[in-house]
Structure 1
């Protein structure tokens, strides 16, 4: 079994935990993300999804599970932010990620570049890297496989203008992708309940990614405090 097949096998049927905290968030710190990843692995996570070379370097000290790497960077001429240019691709490859994730929606990338020409260049430069397509629609997932991505994920469903307000997790998109594609499909986005996670596996996902419901305490807390408000409003 080659290295890439081994990585895909390692995460198959398991839970990947997204350990990310943006600069505006209380847990923003490579050290904290390293400990977060360690805790996730102790809980049985088969992989981690990590933002940026600094956090990746720290997480490599604490865990040895496969790393799905991305780098969120904002550019003035594009609203695409998950691994937008070759600069981020190079940095993540150098950081030693096992799977490299990038936005695979139909948005135009910085510099006016389309996904087609971008990924052609990326694949030529890194023929042996596993690439994960973060998609927002079924059609984007189909196209990603045609372009040569190794994995398709539902990551961006509900997070683009076109898909805003969509109910998450997007089980319809997941089910259609699993039925249509021959490459692994990952369910990511909006999983908060055990029943949702189990349904994703029943629908045939290769693995599932959970972020906020495990690693963003401010959102976890808010979910509980909102529930108190609901009861109080009902009683008033």
Structure 2
């Protein structure tokens, strides 16, 4: 296990992202958010985009999981080798990329991408997976962190209300000891975070419920207006 990973066991990782066009869509703002969640106890943060990665990296002293979203359909989370290398060069401590079996924009397979990345990066790699098969395939490649990030966001599994606990339970039983299971996706409450951990997750990633005021406000607005 990579030395950056061991301290994450049983802890909270926070994804600090804002969507294009939103008031908080600014690298400096995301760095402030990252500093705030570190103060609250996050042991690592996930940052999107090269400028955000640089800004967050210069602000926090916990590991930064870097991604680069490019596009809105198909494979768009760090989708190509070029994106992967740019995320690494931006200073990410952990490289996260799409770990599904879908075709990638540059025509490379996940295996080919990971092999090339390993030639110049000795940090952990995280695969954002969508089902059991993609997770097991990523583990076979020696990818360090297996995330359930995309479960329910592809055609492979239907979305559920909250984290996909069934997927987490199955992966906890089937992943090899060399792979670390990370719960991510639709973790919207402390109770759901605890359930994800109980289902076998090594660590839990929370994003929207902590760092996206627009969504959080909408939840409360809907609760109030429909009461």
TM over 0.5: yes
The alignment of Structure 1 onto Structure 2 pairs a total of residues equal to 225
Q: 1:158 to 1:24 in 2, by over 3 A?
A: farther
Task: Output the CA distance in 2 between the equivalents of 1:25 and 1:143.
Answer: 36
Determine the structure 2 residue equivalent to 1:161.
155
Equivalent residue in structure 2 for 1:192, among 183, 188, 194: 188
Equivalent residue in structure 2 for 1:13, among 10, 13, 30: 10
1:4-153 correspondence to structure 2 within 5 Å: 5-74=2-71, 79-123=74-118, 125-126=119-120, 128-153=122-147
Instruction: Please list the CA deviations of residues 12-62 of structure 1 after superposition, one character each: whole Å capped at 9, or x if unmatched.
Output: 211011001121322100010010001101111111000122111111222
Determine the structure 2 residue equivalent to 1:178.
172
TM-score, structure 1 length as denominator?
Answer: 0.89
Task: Output the CA distance in 1 between the equivalents of 2:8 and 2:219.
Answer: 29
Three-state SS of the structure 1 residue aligned to 2:101 is coil
Structure 1 alignment gaps of length 5 or more: 232-236
Which structure carries more helix by proportion? 1
TM-score, structure 2 length as denominator?
Answer: 0.93
Which one has a bigger Cα radius of gyration?
1
Structure 1 residue 161: Cα displacement: 2.9
Task: Output the CA distance in 2 between the equivalents of 1:22 and 1:228.
Answer: 25
Q: 1:62 to 1:121 in 2, by over 3 A?
A: closer
Structure 2 alignment gaps of length 5 or more: none
